[in-house]
Amino acid sequence: MATHTIIINNSTNKTKHLLGLIKEMAKSEKNIEVDPAKNPNRETLEAIKDAEIGNVFRAKDTEDLFMQLNR
């Protein structure tokens, strides 16, 4: 069985309808599977980038952590 990947941008009505059609077909066809990509949102990507470059804060304990968060 061959696997094909289709990347669909959900920003237009046509692509939303196409994705809906594929999902409906997947309900009745055993050979079609829909596996949505789990891409992180912008906020998560920024947090990952901050962690990679070391732009984080450190806390000695939970009390210190909450004191820093309440600033």
Instruction: Answer whether residue 10 shows pLDDT above 70.
Output: no
What is the rounded average pLDDT of the residues 14-19?
A: 87
Instruction: Answer whether residue 13 shows pLDDT above 70.
Output: yes
Q: Which has the higher per-residue pLDDT, 39 or 15?
A: 15
What is the rounded average pLDDT of the residues 13-31?
A: 87
Q: What is the mean pLDDT of the chain?
A: 86
pLDDT recorded at residue 32? 84
Rounded to 5°, the CA angle 29-25-18 comes to: 150
Q: What count of other Cβ atoms lies within 10 Å of the Cβ of residue 65?
A: 13
> Domain locations in the chain?
1-37, 39-71
- In 3D space, the residue among 8, 16, 58 whose CA is nearest the CA of residue 37 turns out to be 8
